[in-house]
Amino acid sequence: MADKIEFVRNYSDQSTDNGFQFEFTCNRCGNGYKTPFKAWTLGSVSQVADGASSMLGGLFSRAADVTQRAKSAAWEKARDKAMAAAVAEMKPDFVQCPRCSAWVCRAQCWNDKRGLCKGCAPDLGVEMSAAQADRSVDEVWAHAQMSAEDKKLTAGDWRETIVASCPSCGAPQEVNAKFCPGCGADLKAGSFCAQCGAKLQPGAKFCQECGTHTA
C-alpha cells in the first residue's frame, strides 16, 4: 500500500509549474506561515520543449505530448512529496482544538493551560481586562449624559436630601435647586430641633432624631 499523504484543513496550495509553495493559516486570527518556494527543475526543461513543439510541429509535437504527460505525472509526484514535507514542517506551529476542531496557531490562539483554543477557552485575565474597559466606557457615556445638576450632586454629597416640592408653596421642583422658582423660598435652609438640636429638613413637622413636633 502506498504511503498516505497527510493534509490539514488550514492550508492553500500556491504551487505553479515551476515549483511548489504552500500557505498555512490560523482558523482563528487569520495569521500564518508560507513555506519557501521550492523550484521544480523539470519545469524549465518542459517549457523549452513546449516552445520547440510550437515552432516545429509534426513529429516534435507528438513527442512534446508524451513529454507533457510525463511532466504531469512527475509534477504530481513531486508536489505530493513537497506537500508532505510542508505539512510536517508547519504542523508544530499549529494545533487542532479537540472541542471545535479548528486549526489555530500556538503563538496567539492556543490556551496551553486549558488544552483548548482561545475561542473555546479564552484567557480569563484578558476577558476581565476587556470587561473592565467596557464598564469604564459605559460609565463615561452615562456621566456624559447626566444633567449639570446631577453631576454637581454626584461630585458632592449624594446623601443630601433633594426637595421634590416647595414646603412653602407646594410647587414641584424639577431640579435640585437652592430656591423655589415659584415663591423664592430657600429650599436648603433648615431649622434646628428645640429638643435635641438636630438639623431639621425643610418642611419637616417632626424631628427625625427625637420625634419632637416642630410646628
- Give me the residue spans of the domains in the chain: 11-117
Residue 194 identity (one-letter amino acid): A
At 115 the pLDDT is: 96
68-109 pLDDT per residue, tens? 666 688 999 999 999 999 999 999 999 999 999 999 999 999
C-alpha cell at 71: 511532466
Average pLDDT (15-20) is: 92
Question: Which pTM value belongs to this model?
Answer: 0.53
Identify the band that residue 185 occupies on the pLDDT scale cut at 50, 70 and 90.
confident
The span from the CA of 201 to the CA of 161, in Å, is 8
At 147 the pLDDT is: 66
Residue 137 identity (one-letter amino acid): V
C-alpha cell at 190: 433648615
At 124 the pLDDT is: 86
Q: What is the DSSP code (8-state) at residue 172?
A: B
Residue 153 neighbours by CB distance under 10 Å: 17
Nearest to 68 by CA among 89, 54, 56, 85: 54
Nearest to 179 by CA among 194, 190, 193, 189: 189
52 has pLDDT over 50? no
Nearest to 102 by CA among 6, 7, 27, 33: 27
Identify the band that residue 168 occupies on the pLDDT scale cut at 50, 70 and 90.
confident
| Phi, then psi, of 182 in degrees rounded to 5 | -85, -45
Query: Distance of CA 73 to CAs 18, 62, 77, Å?
Result: 14, 17, 6
At 19 the pLDDT is: 94
CA 30-33-37 angle, to 5 degrees, is 140
At 175 the pLDDT is: 63
**Is residue 26 within 8 Å of 90, Cβ to Cβ?**
no
138 has pLDDT over 70? yes
For the ranges 30-39, 187-196, 197-206, the lowest mean pLDDT is seen at: 187-196
The span from the CA of 154 to the CA of 141, in Å, is 15
At 180 the pLDDT is: 82
User: What phi-psi label fits residue 57: left (phi over 0), alpha (psi between -120 and 50 degrees) or beta?
Assistant: left
**Is residue 32 within 8 Å of 105, Cβ to Cβ?**
yes
At 197 the pLDDT is: 67
Mean model confidence pLDDT for the chain? 78
At 207 the pLDDT is: 78
